[in-house]
Structure 1
Amino acid sequence: MSAPDWRRLVAVLASQDQREVLAHLLLGQDPEPALAALKPKVRTKTRAALLASEVVDADDDGRLALRAGAFKAMLAASAPARPEGIERFRDGRRIVQFPANATERFELLERVAEEAMRPGEELSERDINERLAAFHEDTALVRRYLVDHGLIRRSPDGAVYVRDGRN
C-alpha cells in the first residue's frame, strides 16, 4: 500500500463540507446523511476529494469507508530518516554518546579530529578546547581520547596539540 499524500488530506480538512463527512467516517458513523444534506454539485466534489485523499475508499455500492492503514502508512512515510553509522552517536556536530564498539568509537573520533583540526595544524590547549567544545562539553575527555587513539599528538609539556598529516 502506498502512503496517501498528506497534502490531499489537508485539503479535505480545509473544506467544512469535506471535513464534516470525514468526521462521520472517523467516528464510525454513516457518512451518507451528511452527504445527502449537501447540494448535488458539492456532494460530487466532496466524494471526489475524499477519494482523492486516499484516506477514504468506496465499496462496490459506492459507500464511503476509511481506508485501512492509510493514516499509519502516511505517518510511516513522513518519519524522519534514522541516522546510520557513527551519526547515530551525534546530534549535528555534538556527540551525544560515545560508542561502546571500539571501531565505531575510533571512526567517531577520527571524524571529530578531521572537523576540529587541519593536518599539521598546531593548537594550544586553550585553542583545542575551544574547538572541541563544539563537539562535547567534556573537552578534556575528547582531547584525551584523540591523543590515546593517535589522532592528534600532544607535546611533552602538554602545551601544543598537533594533528599529523596522515590522520
Structure 2
Amino acid sequence: MSDVRAMLACLANEEVARLFASLVLANGPEQSLSPARKEKAMKSLVQSGLITTDDSAAGRLNVVEIRAALAALRSATSDGASPWLDENGRIKRFPRRPAERAEFLEEIGVQAVRAHERISESELNDRLASLTDDIPTLRRYLVVHGVLDRSVDGSSYWRAATAERGESGSSDRRGV
C-alpha cells in the first residue's frame, strides 16, 4: 500500500500538487513546469500512489490505492499501536490465529507492493527491511499466504490477485 505520509507530502509540494490537480481535472499536465520538473513531479505522484499511469503515460487518480491507504488508517487501533509491531513499527511477532495472520500479512503486502506493480526481489527486500530483520521469512509468509505472487525464478514479485480485490493475475507460490 502506498504510504499516506507520501501522499500528503506530494500534496504539500506546490508544484507536485499543481500537476496532480491538472491530471485529476483532465486538463493535461501543468504547463508552467519545465519538462524535467514535470517528470520529477510525475514520478513523485506515481511513487506516492496518488496517481497511476498506463501505456499512454497520462496519469489518473489511483482510487484503489487511496482507498487502501484510508482503510489501513481506519484499521489501526485508536492509539495507533499494533500488538504485532514494536514502538518503531517493526514486526515483533506474527499473529497466531490464521484470520489475524492473514489480515496482518495483507496489510504488509499492500504497504510493500502497489496494485499492478512488479518489483525485483532486491527492491522487495529493501521495502521489507523497515519492518523486520528476518526478511526471507516475511517474504516467504507473504507468498505462502497468498498476499504476493512471484516469478518461477523468484526474481520478481507482485500483489496476488484475489476475487475479493477484484484483480486479475497469475500465481506461482513455489516457495521463496
Compute the TM-score of the two structures, normalised by the length of structure 2: 0.44
Structure of greater Rg: 1
The alignment's TM-score, normalised by the length of structure 1, stands at 0.47
